[in-house]
Structure 1
Amino acid sequence: MQINTTSFVSAPLTIAVVGLGKIGLPLAVQYARHGQRVIGCDINQEVVDNLNAGRSHIQEESELATDVPRLIRAGFFSATTSTQAAVCEAQVVVVIVPVAIDAEHVVNTAHIDAASRAIGDALQPGTLVIYETTLPVGTTSRHLRQLLEQTSQLQAGKDFYLAYSPERVSSGSVFHDLRMYPKVVGGIDAASTERAITFYRSVLDAEIIAMASTDEAEFVKLIETTYRDVNIALANEYACYADMHQLNVHAAIAAANTQPYSHIHTPGVGVGGHCIPVYPYFLFSNPLDHAQPGLADTAHTMLTLPRQARQINDGMAEYTIQRLEEVVGPLYQQSVLLLGVAYRGDVRETAFTSARLLQAALRYRDAIVYADDVFFNEDELKELGYTALPAGYEDRITAVILQCDHRAYHHFNFSPFSRCQVVLDGRHALRRAEIEAAGMHYLSIGDGTTLAVKNDNAQRLAKKTVS
């Protein structure tokens, strides 16, 4: 198949973006901003109807509120529930449909498989198909390629182009990240790689990095996210060591990171989100390995650090509750408030949030668990499985855990919590002086004050006994 680069770049493209979630919709808008005609595809009829009416369902990206209606009016963007109809018209198809793990950490490709079959049903010769969803290594070149070829009766590398380019952006800063981070691209062959690079140069302003294959490009994203998980686990182990030896891990890490080869992350009560706690499992739970005799067994014995990191980071919830118990004693029938159920600050998203693990650890001790989140109302919290703190119940709270560092919590008013003994700052985001001024103990993961607090409580109890 010969590439006609001139015509591909010079004429406006029709691009089908399959999946209009927190990443897919900003990508569609990014392409439309560059003068391309974009058809967004989503299975949710309400999402499609709202977008065609100029209303964005994604609130984290402020630019969408103005760009979506503007681009709809200008004819550069439209939305549909018919992936097949969009693919029929498209020269480029970009797929950003989620792949997740289940409760047993098994990779589930059902959604992206369905999307791929729909694409294959309408795929035209000469079309470029790019997957941006984070995937286990080999998924594009083997599994998804096979689905596309079977449904389209076309051959990848001969009748259509196939490439992989991982999304490398964060919810709430997608447009910024698209400008700042290099775009990693790999095709199933040289022609597919070149065509994908040509496309991205027409819609992005960032550097393009060409990889040798789709497998290598998939590997890049898994390395990125697993590195962060392992790094956070190391920081959390440092924090536990600091608490044991009455050291301040935050001060120590800050000093260590002034050395240019040290990049230690921040410890905390756990790791949440769509990426960091999920994608390591793509490395050591790759479903494609099971199709190759012997490879699954070999993979199971590899990558010991990512496996341990997952255990360490998920175990921080239990460690956090143990720290509380060192201050307040048994938590049986004690009321504890979780501040924030989102997986990170200032996002309305709860994927794999550490709040789940904290709540489970507290309930195991028969504590009474309440939750607050500035991004969710009482009914939404209930739907998510949490109990909102009723008005007037502030004086029943024994302990508060900052799970999520929403900016609204940085100056949280603790004065109504008259019986609260301790505030555990799980994200090192609160002002210690304000909390101690309210008569409460301040703890953070790795601040080394646990023993000091325990001794202080013992001294207070002794004074009360003597008097």
Structure 2
Amino acid sequence: MSQFTVTVVGLGKIGMPLAAQYASRGLAVHGADVNPDVVAMVNAGKSPVIEEAGLEEAVAKARQAEMLDATTDTALAVSQSNVVVLVVPLMVDRNKQIDYRIVDSASADVARGLQPGTLVIFETTLPVGTTRKRIGPILEQGSGLKQGRDFMLAFSPERVYSGRIFADLRNYPKIVGGVDEASAARAVEFYRAALDEGTPIKLVANAETAEFVKLAETTYRDVNIALANEFARFAASNGIDALDAFDAANTQPYSHIHKPGVGVGGHCIPVYPYFLLDAAAEGELDLVRRSRALNDSMAAYSLDLLERELGSLQGKRVLVLGLSYRENVKEDAFSTAHLLIAELKRRSAHPLLHDPLWTAEELERHGDSAESVADIYAARPDAVVLQAYHQQYARLLDWPRLAEASCRVILDGRNAVRNQREAIEAAGLKYVGVGQ
């Protein structure tokens, strides 16, 4: 039996796999979540998170072994633990301002059950300085304890990808930084016990460095995607197929040009640059700011391409394929679909929305008042915008049938069916790709 008893706060797409991972290593795990339905599922041996490889089996096994339970009473769970790992959402609002309410509330709940000697780790991506300067004081105020003296505090960013979390936990180095040396050392000790044997652990100077690591690696991707998008726009205006050029350029070992596309979505890349920008002085991080704006502008740019083929979009039935922010994942956080639908409405088009991963009711609820479509062909769209190329679309899309259904243009927002361009155009459709 491990020396560690852990409370995982937040049993979502990241927290649930973490809880199952820790239990698989022989740690007693309490899961805490505000949603009683989530808690009930876990206590019944079922995962509230679907489409995560190995998770259903891991949760069932952990419950059977009595190594995992769940509760809505965070303070109680924390009082019975010597390690607390928090993975709760930190997002930005419509004005791109950071919304700390969930993080603050979860921290206050932890504080009410915090015992001397406990290690608290945040895995939620945070702005630099948040662990020490915001979380620490909340924990101190609610517990009467002092960080670095009575309890330990560290930051270790989650670095995993939905659908392959257990593999990523094994393969990606675990970044750890503490508010002091004792906190850092204890966090390293915990992760050596909680993660699979041989998992690399990289200790950095402090919690602030660890916070910056995650922001730097995600913002790096955003900036490089923006560069690819800017290249694509230049190439298209000069009669060059950007993807052909990128493929050739990337034969040079030092060249890693990303793929251009209709936009960037998800919980991470479109959000975390704002965590940096929030703390930046005037004129600082201008490249980051401009890159974020350029990536958000790609939806409008892509619809400009569509207008070149169709003329005005006023009254046109434009079908967006894919509500999800990326293929094969049922999640629409900051999905480019939302930008496309808003821009279609601004141009007085009639936006339609289809996604095989979502029910009609869910599409109505999440789809920004776009008309949800069950049958692509019965919808009779004037144009189709491929926003997320789920594997189901390889079977569902029939180019001649689309042409028969009055469709005129395929806008390949992800360059996902580029290799089918000849077949698309042979069916009488116009193919338009980003950067082509």
Q: What is the aligned partner in structure 2 of residue 120 from structure 1?
A: 111
Using the alignment, how far apart are the partners of 2:340 and 2:292 within structure 1? Answer: 16
The answer on whether the counterparts of 1:116 and 1:147 sit within 8 Å (CA) in structure 2 is yes
Amino acid at match of 2:203: A
The answer on whether the counterparts of 1:400 and 1:420 sit within 8 Å (CA) in structure 2 is yes
- Cα deviation per residue 1:131-160 (whole Å; 9 max; x = unaligned)? 000000000011100000111111111111
Q: What is the aligned partner in structure 1 of residue 30 from structure 2?
A: 39
Amino acid at match of 1:314: D
Using the alignment, how far apart are the partners of 2:211 and 2:191 within structure 1? Answer: 17
Greater Cα shift, 337-346 or 359-368: 359-368
Q: Which of residues 230, 238, 242 in structure 1 aligns to 2:231?
A: 238
Q: Which of residues 308, 313, 324 in structure 1 aligns to 2:290?
A: 308
Q: What is the aligned partner in structure 2 of residue 228 from structure 1?
A: 221
**Cα 1:24–1:392, aligned 2, differ >3 Å: closer, same or farther?**
closer
Amino acid at match of 1:441: K
Find runs of 4+ consecutive structure 1 residues off by over 6 angstroms.
Answer: none
Say whether 1:267 aligns with 2:246.
no
Aligned runs of 1:292-307 on 2, under 5 Å? 299-307=281-289
Amino acid at match of 1:75: E
Aligned runs of 1:12-51 on 2, under 5 Å? 12-51=3-42
- Cα deviation per residue 1:241-280 (whole Å; 9 max; x = unaligned)? 1110111111111111121211111100000000000000
Using the alignment, how far apart are the partners of 1:390 and 1:39 within structure 2? Answer: 41
Amino acid at match of 1:440: L
Q: Which of residues 295, 307, 314 in structure 2 aligns to 1:325?
A: 307
State the 1:12 CA deviation.
3.7
Q: What is the aligned partner in structure 2 of residue 450 from structure 1?
A: none
State the 1:301 CA deviation.
1.9
Greater Cα shift, 253-262 or 110-119: 253-262
Q: Which of residues 77, 82, 87 in structure 1 aligns to 2:73?
A: 82
Say whether 1:345 aligns with 2:327.
yes
Q: What is the aligned partner in structure 1 of residue 435 from structure 2?
A: 446
Using the alignment, how far apart are the partners of 2:300 and 2:57 within structure 1? Answer: 44
Tell me the TM-score normalized by structure 1: 0.89
Q: Which of residues 222, 236, 245 in structure 2 aligns to 1:252?
A: 245
Aligned runs of 1:107-186 on 2, under 5 Å? 107-186=98-177
Amino acid at match of 1:401: V
State the 1:171 CA deviation.
1.3
Q: How many residues align?
A: 427
**Cα 1:377–1:36, aligned 2, differ >3 Å: closer, same or farther?**
same
Q: Alignment partner of 1:282: what SS?
A: helix
State the 1:395 CA deviation.
6.4
State the 1:392 CA deviation.
8.0
Using the alignment, how far apart are the partners of 2:301 and 2:242 within structure 1? Answer: 16
Greater Cα shift, 385-394 or 167-176: 385-394
Percent identity of equivalent pairs: 49
Say whether 1:429 aligns with 2:416.
yes
Q: Alignment partner of 1:299: what SS?
A: coil
Using the alignment, how far apart are the partners of 2:138 and 2:380 within structure 1? Answer: 57
The answer on whether the counterparts of 1:369 and 1:387 sit within 8 Å (CA) in structure 2 is yes
Q: What is the aligned partner in structure 1 of residue 401 from structure 2?
A: 416
The answer on whether the counterparts of 1:410 and 1:429 sit within 8 Å (CA) in structure 2 is no
**Cα 1:248–1:393, aligned 2, differ >3 Å: closer, same or farther?**
closer
Using the alignment, how far apart are the partners of 1:209 and 1:11 within structure 2? Answer: 22
Which sections of structure 1, spanning at least 5 residues, go unmatched? 1-9, 287-297, 448-467
State the 1:409 CA deviation.
1.7
Amino acid at match of 1:142: K
Using the alignment, how far apart are the partners of 2:13 and 2:149 within structure 1? Answer: 33
Indicate the structure (1 or 2) with the bigger Cα radius of gyration. Answer: 1
Q: Which of residues 370, 378, 382 in structure 1 aligns to 2:364?
A: 382
State the 1:90 CA deviation.
0.5
**Cα 1:179–1:404, aligned 2, differ >3 Å: closer, same or farther?**
same
